[in-house]
Amino acid sequence: RRRSRELSLRLLLGVRLQAIHGFAAVSVEAAFSRAMELSAEGDPDRDRLLAHWGLFGCHVVRANLVAAAGLTESLAELAHRLDQGLARVAAGYMLGVTSFYRGELGAARSALNEALDLWDTADRDECLLLYGHDLSVGITAYLGWVLALQGDPTAGSAAARAIELGRDAADPFSIAYATTFAAQTHLFRDDLAEAKGYALATKAMAFERGYAQWQGQADIQLGHIAERQHRSAGMTAMQQGLDQYVSTGAALALPYTRAFLAEAHTARGEPEQAAAMIRQGLSETALSGEHYYDAELLRLDAELSADRGDALAALETLKHARVLADTQGACLLAEKIELVRERIDADNWSKHE
């Protein structure tokens, strides 16, 4: 009985620590790992499922996608055995998230939509207690990202819907989750004004509530926006946000941030530093399997080649980037690749006139 009580407390503690310390924090891993050890007692399938859920968040935000995928499969089996709706929603969320970061946008969209179809608002209170946030918020927020990269014009509506769901739940952490993701959705689409509004909302709530991970992500976003608007403090803000984010144990989406930094260095006339960021980002994706933004990193690399006069290398890199974007269904990235190709073709034409 004492172990059963400890198990319940560990599971509840884990989801609370996720909000304050970040999903990848050592304290979060310790809470859920201990819960996994204790889950042989009480209601073993349900308790093990919740421990899997917590460890999934830890591993995926550390960019350990192999471990996250293994936990996804195990949780899906437990959810099937339990035949419980909320568990099935969690399994679909996990599959959608891992598919997204691997660059499997079609699979991610299908999994997330299926999970959303299973969502029942009547489960919201139990969901907030056991899973730490409203799962319909996370699912819809990730759909915003998928739709943005696919070039779907409804991406902004999905981002707004996630915020609406968070407000319906009256859960600050879910709202901050949604505004963080909404800012990113609009950054994908280069909607800087919209992105800034959402990032500022996240920053304010994260500061007030002590959400360490969301704080770091908001500062990265705001720094990128400032840099794009030619403000000198943008790079510093991005780096400070990155330091905050990494201090929580997070490594997920670092290649995306490297792309931000590469763009900033290029705009400042610092091609060597930009190239270093791109190499670092591609090295990270090779290790983690987080490939959803590889095509953009390659596009930025091609721009650097073009800027130093090596059009052939640039076109070869763009060819690789386009194949990758097309394979993933990342229409937004494919369009950006074509814009660079057109610029190179125009430059070559003008040289031969």
Per-residue pLDDT tens for 29-72?
999 999 999 987 667 889 999 999 999 999 999 999 999 999 99
Per-residue pLDDT tens for 154-211?
999 999 999 999 999 999 999 999 999 999 999 999 999 999 999 999 999 999 999 9
> Residue 270 and residue 119: Cα distance in Å, rounded?
48
- Mark which of 235, 252, 269 sits at the end of a domain: 252
Residue 353 scores a pLDDT above 70: no
Q: How many CB atoms lie within 10 A of CB 66?
A: 11
Position 350 confidence tier, pLDDT thresholds 50, 70, 90: low
Tell me which of 41-50, 102-111, 265-274 is least confident: 41-50
Average pLDDT on 292-309 reads 97
Average pLDDT score, the chain: 95
Residue 252 scores a pLDDT above 60: yes
- Assigned token pair, 202: 């996240």
Query: Is residue 247 located within the same domain as residue 340?
Result: no
Query: Is residue 248 located within the same domain as residue 262?
Result: no
Query: Is residue 233 located within the same domain as residue 260?
Result: no
> Got the DSSP string for 181-193?
HHHHHHHHTT-HH
Residue 149 scores a pLDDT above 70: yes
Question: What CATH number is associated with residue 128?
Answer: 1.25.40.10
Q: How many CB atoms lie within 10 A of CB 45?
A: 15
Residue closest to 18 by CA, chosen among 58, 65, 75, 72: 58
Residue 323 scores a pLDDT above 80: yes
- Across 150-173, b (16+ Cβ under 10 Å) vs e yields bbbeebbebbbbbbebbeebebbb
- Assigned token pair, 249: 């144990």
Query: Is residue 169 located within the same domain as residue 313?
Result: no
Residues 6+ apart with CB under 8 A from 331: 149, 150, 151, 325
Q: How confident is the model at residue 349, as a pLDDT? A: 57
Residue closest to 217 by CA, chosen among 245, 255, 249: 245
What is the Cα Rg of the chain in Å? 21
Query: Is residue 33 located within the same domain as residue 131?
Result: yes
Q: How confident is the model at residue 71, as a pLDDT? A: 97
Q: How confident is the model at residue 348, as a pLDDT? A: 67
- Assigned token pair, 135: 């799962």
Query: Is residue 186 located within the same domain as residue 41?
Result: yes
Domains: count for the chain:
2
- Mark which of 186, 218, 252 sits at the end of a domain: 252
Percent of all residues in the chain with a pLDDT value above 70, rounded to a whole number: 98
Query: Is residue 316 located within the same domain as residue 244?
Result: no
CA 342 to chain centre: 30
Residues 6+ apart with CB under 8 A from 206: 176, 212, 214, 215, 218
Q: How confident is the model at residue 231, as a pLDDT? A: 73
> Residue 147 and residue 170: Cα distance in Å, rounded?
26
Query: Is residue 235 located within the same domain as residue 275?
Result: no
Q: How confident is the model at residue 207, as a pLDDT? A: 97
- Cα distances from 95 to residues 71, 100, 126, 142, 340, in angstroms, run 10, 9, 21, 12, 34
3-state percent breakdown (helix, strand, coil) of the chain, nearest 5: 85, 0, 15
Query: Is residue 260 located within the same domain as residue 318?
Result: yes
Query: Is residue 233 located within the same domain as residue 265?
Result: no
Query: Is residue 198 located within the same domain as residue 240?
Result: yes
DSSP 3-state assignment of 250? coil
Residues 6+ apart with CB under 8 A from 295: 321, 322, 324, 325, 328, 330, 333, 334, 337
Position 351 confidence tier, pLDDT thresholds 50, 70, 90: low
Query: Is residue 263 located within the same domain as residue 244?
Result: no
Q: For the full predicted model, state whether its pTM sits above 0.85.
A: yes
Residue 1 scores a pLDDT above 80: no
Per-residue pLDDT tens for 212-239?
999 999 999 999 999 998 777 899 999 9
Sign of CA dihedral 44, 45, 49, 50: negative
Largest CA distance in the chain: 85
Query: Is the CB of residue 186 less than 8 Å from the CB of residue 194?
Result: yes
Residues 6+ apart with CB under 8 A from 216: 241, 242, 243, 244, 245, 246, 247, 248, 250
> Residue 325 and residue 341: Cα distance in Å, rounded?
14
Residue-number span of the structural domain to which 331 is assigned: 254-353
> Residue 111 and residue 46: Cα distance in Å, rounded?
22
